[in-house]
Amino acid sequence: MPTPPKIPVPTARAIVDCGVYIDGKRVPGRFAPAKALAEASKADTGYVWVGLHDPDKAQMAEIAEIFGLHPLAVEDAVHGKQRPKLEVYDQTLFFVMRTVSYVAHEIDTVSEIVLTGDIMVFVGPHFAITVRHGDHTGLAAVRHELENEPERLRLGPCAVLHAVADHVVDSYVEVAEAVDQDVDEMEEEVFSTRSRVGIEVIYQLKREVVELRQAVAPLTVPLAMLLNSTNFTLPKEVKRYLRDVADHHTQVTEHINVFDESLSELVSAALAKISVQQNTDMRKISAYVAMAAVPTMIAGIYGMNFEHMPELRSEYGYPIVLFVMVAACTALFISFRRNNWL
| Interval 18-54: pLDDT, tens | 999 999 899 998 899 999 999 998 888 899 999 999 9
One CATH from 3.40.50.1950, 1.10.3720.10, 3.30.460.20, 1.20.59.10 for 11-273 = 3.30.460.20
Average pLDDT over residues 199-221: 87
Ranges in the chain annotated CATH 1.20.58.340 = 277-338
Helical ranges in the chain per DSSP H: 33-40, 57-67, 71-79, 140-147, 150-153, 157-190, 199-216, 220-228, 236-302, 317-338
Ranges in the chain annotated CATH 3.30.460.20 = 11-273
For the cut 90, the answer to whether the pLDDT of residue 199 exceeds it is no
Average pLDDT over residues 309-326: 74
Average pLDDT over residues 255-275: 80
Percent of the chain with pLDDT over 70: 91
pTM for the full predicted model: 0.77
Query: What b/e sequence results for 201-228 when a residue is b if at least 16 CB atoms lie within 10 Å of its CB, and e otherwise?
Result: bbebbbebbebbbebbbbbeebbebbee
Contact 207, 114 (CB under 8 A): no
Contact 81, 117 (CB under 8 A): no
Confidence of residue 62 (pLDDT cuts 50, 70, 90): very high
Range with the largest mean pLDDT of 89-103, 195-209, 328-342 = 89-103
Fold of 277-338: Methane Monooxygenase Hydroxylase; Chain G, domain 1 (1.20.58)
Q: How far is CA 106 from CA 189, 207, 211, in A?
A: 12, 16, 19
